[in-house]
Every structure is written in C-alpha cells, then in structure tokens.
Structure 1
Amino acid sequence: MRAGEELTRSQEAVFDELDVQFREGEYEKVEAGARAMAAAPRSHRSRGPAVDRLAGTMAVTTAIAHGHGGEVLAEVEAQIVDLERTVGAWRMLLVMARANRTAILVGQKRYAEAEAEAGVVLRESGRLARLDGREKAELSALAGLAKALCGQGRYEEAHAIAAGNLPRAQGRTAFALRSALVHSLSGLGRHEEALAEAGRFPSDGSRAESGSPEIATATALYGLGRRSEAEAMARQALALCEQRLHPDHPRTEEARALLRRITAGDPPA
C-alpha cells in the first residue's frame, strides 16, 4: 500500500528499496531502515501520518517474517488502535495490522485468539473489495486461520480451508496455505498425501520460509514409519532454522521438538 499523495519521491524511493530488500530476505536491513524512517524528525518528512504508518507496518511485518514477532505484539496492537479510526485506503493497512497480529498469535500458540483475529481480518477485507491487496490479505488470513485450526486439532476444517484456497494463491500466501494443508493432512493421518504435498513446495522459497518444507516432510515421513529419513530431514530443518532465522523464531523450537519426538520414538503428533 502507498499513500502517494503524502509521500515525496525520495520517500517513495526508500520504500521501494525496502520492498526489494524484504523480498531478498534482508530482514535486518529492512527493519532498521523502516524504523529509521519512522524516527526521523517530522521537519524532514511530508506532513501527515503516511510515513509513520507505512514505516511502522513494514518494520513489524519484517520482524514477524524474521521470527521475533512476539517482541512487536504491543506495537502491532497500538497500530490497530490507531488505524481503527481511519477511513478509505487506510483500512487496508488496518487489515494488514490485524493479519500481523494473527501471525504473532499463531507463533505464540494462542490458537483460539488467532482464530478470532483471522475472522476479523476476513470480515474487514470483505468490505474492501475495490482496494489493491485485498485478496492477498484475505488469503493470508485464511492461511493463518488454517494454522490456528490445526493448532486446536481441528484438521478437517483446516484442510477444507487450505485445499479450497490454495489454487488461487501465489507466492508467500501459496506457501503458507500449502504448509497448512500438509499439516492438516498429517494431523488426519493421511501421511502419504502429506508427503506428496510437501514435495510440491517451491525450491526457491524465501528466507522467512526456511525449514518449513523440511519440517512438513519430516513429519510425514515419521508418520509413515520412515524414522531414519524423518530424523535426517528434521536435522536439516533445524539447521536451516538456526542458520537463517532469528533465534526466537517459533519454527526453530518446532523443529527441535519434532527432532526430540523422532529420536525418542514417540508416536507421531
């Protein structure tokens, strides 16, 4: 989203560069750059809230992708309070803020709260049919909802959402929906299907997705009784998480827990 009427050309250029860096996985640079923009004296910027809001959203979105979303939950909730008072195109930024809160709650295993928040995102995005980014926000919320349902053991519901919406998704939202789909299949004991779907993850996933395909594959392999292969894949997942993600990323602990379960010979979760 851009509030172009409130940004100078130089500010637009900075945001464009941060977008490029985000897609390239340079999360440390992006978060630092976005926070520097938000902290710059107002005399150096255009009037109005555009820079603060856009930079703040970019900073917390990047923190979540990097893996330390828990640290910015209060910041996200403050953004929601601010954006609830807005109208027009700013409502799209409100949807993004609520989608960010959903992602953080899923990462904290607060699944019932995440389910409720995803529902708010879906209702709000449904009112913004003419705004750019609405469908992407909706699909992101659906992926978050599917993950929240998996976390509550409601695998049939999660499967219906993920399988039903994956065909119209692209990029990161497609990746998130496929991850939820594989998780739901494993939860349903459909391990052969889960393994087949895990094999369809793109090989060029972003840094934020590091370790996710490997965790999905290891889980399916373990469900099929292929313990040695599952252990090797779980170790690969953990190595990728430790190398590429923030130390606090929830996926890193997910990989550790999976590896402990496999090496202990516990039943598949």
Structure 2
Amino acid sequence: MRWERARRGRAGGSAAPSRRVALDRIQNLLQAGGFEQAEAEARALAASSRTRGDGPDLISWPARSLAAGAAVAHGRGAELLPELDTLIKELRQTTGADRQLLLAVRSNRAAVLVQQDRHTEAEAEAMDILRGTTRIAHLTEVWRIELNALTNLAAALNGQGRYEEAEAIARGNLPRADGPAAFLHCALVRSLNGQKRYGEALAEARRYTPAGGRTASGTLGIVTARALHGLGRRDEAEAAAREALTACEQSLHPAHPRIKEARTLLAHITAEGPTPE
C-alpha cells in the first residue's frame, strides 16, 4: 500500500519532501523484490526520523512497517514476530483512516503465522483484519489489505484441511485480485490438491500463472508438483519440485519456510523410486 496518510501527517504536520520520496523509493524496491535493500533503507530512514524528533506517524511508523514487510517477504518472519507485535501495539493508538497502517502490519503478522503453521491463529487474525477494513472502508482505500487478508485466510483454511472453504474464498476473489493474485491462485490449486482433485489442480495451475515476482518464488512450482504427483506422473513431479526448490533457494532467505516445504516434497517424491517402466 502507499502511505498517503503518513505523508500528510496528523494535526497539520508534514514530512520533508525528500523523506516522502525516500518512502516511495523503499515501497518500489519492496514491490520489485529488492527485500534486502528495501529493509536497510527503511531502517535507516526510521532511525533518521527518530534523530530529527519527528512524530512516529510521519516517517518512523511507515518506515518501520516497510522494513518489517521486506523482512517477512524475504523469509525472516519468525525472527520478526516480536518486532511486529511491538509495532502493532504502538499503532493501536491510531484512529480513522490511519488504521490502514495497523491493518497492513497485522497482515504481515498473519502471513508469518501461516508460515509457522499456526493456522487457527492466522485464521482469527485474518478475520479480524477483514472486520477492520470494513470499519474504515468509507474513509480510505482498503482493497489491497482486504485481499491480503483473504489470501492469508485461504492459506490458513488449507492448513486446517478445510479445503472447500479455501477454494470458495480463492475462486470468489481471484477475479479482482492484483498484487496478491499469485498467492491466492496458489491457494486455489492447493485446495484442489487437498481434495484430491489433481487433474483440476494441474489444469488450474497451468491455465493461469499470475506474476508474483521474487516474493512468490517456488509457490506455483510446489503446488504443480503436488498435482503431478497425485496423478502418478512422478518424473514430472520431481522435475517441478526441483525447479521450485531452485527458485526458492535463489530468491529467498535460507530461513524461508517455503524452502523447507520444497525440500520435503522433493524428498517425498524421490523416496518412492523411479516411475515403473
């Protein structure tokens, strides 16, 4: 999301144009997959803001939120949970449209909970975020936060084996998805795999491949490999799993849970031996 409210500030305050430009630059780096640089620049900007004595809403909160978001996207979510919790606690004092920043940070926390297989907690967090977007929808743009919450909700439901519910959410919201489309699409394929509808899952995976950038590295390959494996096409499944693992290792932090998922899937496929002639 763009930090329009943070740029204007509150109670008549405003941030220097150079630092508004810096926020834009960090946002663009994050969207382009430059996680490491985005986090470093965001943390430097937040530190500079504290030195200048700015109010936290002007630069520090948005910069810290972007830094945390970059680290989560990179795959360091587990170590970021305490930082996210602290930032969420501070942002609870915001009101009105300024609550969009709180909801965005909570969306990152929900994503980390999904990564850690804390699916019931992730479901509760996503549902509360959706209620929060409803309360401020008349004040500011919230569609991207809403779609992120729905994507995390679908992932949490898949993690609990509630595949039909996850499928309904993904199908119902994919037509209007933009940035979160890659993850919502993979949630749909994963839900079909969970229902053992492997032929449909494979067709869906190959029908629609939204660009997810570096953030989504390996996601489509993993669910495609699962579908192929379910269909008994072991050699193709192995190739897809290896490709997904390579993509994850090249683009994500070594601690990213998706790397472990890809390795586990590949080990499961190869443990069965070669496909019979």
Which TM-score band applies after superposition, normalised by the shorter structure? over 0.9
Aligned residues: 265
Match of 1:162 among 166, 170, 173: 170
Matches within 5 A, 1:1-269: 1-2=3-4, 3-5=6-8, 6-40=14-48, 42-44=50-52, 46-171=54-179, 173-202=180-209, 204-265=211-272
CA-atom RMSD, angstroms? 1.6
Deviations 1:233-267 (A, max 9, x none): 1011111111110001111011011101111239x
| TM-score normalized with structure 1 length | 0.94
Report the CA distance between 1:48 and its aligned residue.
Answer: 4.6
1: CA distance, partners of 2:96 / 2:211: 36
Letter of the aligned partner of 2:7 in structure 1?
A: G
SS where residue 199 of structure 1 aligns?
Answer: helix
User: Could you say which residue in structure 1 is the equivalent of 2:11?
Assistant: none
Runs of 4+ in 1 over 6 A off after TM superposition: none
| TM-score normalized with structure 2 length | 0.91
Checking the alignment, whether the CA contact within 8 Å between 2:217 and 2:251 is kept in structure 1 is yes
1: CA distance, partners of 2:215 / 2:207: 18
2: CA distance, partners of 1:188 / 1:17: 43
Report the CA distance between 1:43 and its aligned residue.
Answer: 4.7
Letter of the aligned partner of 1:125 in structure 2?
A: T
Deviations 1:132-180 (A, max 9, x none): 4411111110110110011111111111111111111112x11111011
Letter of the aligned partner of 1:26 in structure 2?
A: G
Checking the alignment, whether the CA contact within 8 Å between 1:175 and 1:201 is kept in structure 2 is no
Letter of the aligned partner of 2:100 in structure 1?
A: M
Deviations 1:5-44 (A, max 9, x none): 2321001111111122112211100000001111126353
Checking the alignment, whether the CA contact within 8 Å between 2:181 and 2:212 is kept in structure 1 is no
1: CA distance, partners of 2:155 / 2:211: 22
Give % identity: 49
Checking the alignment, whether the CA contact within 8 Å between 1:35 and 1:56 is kept in structure 2 is yes
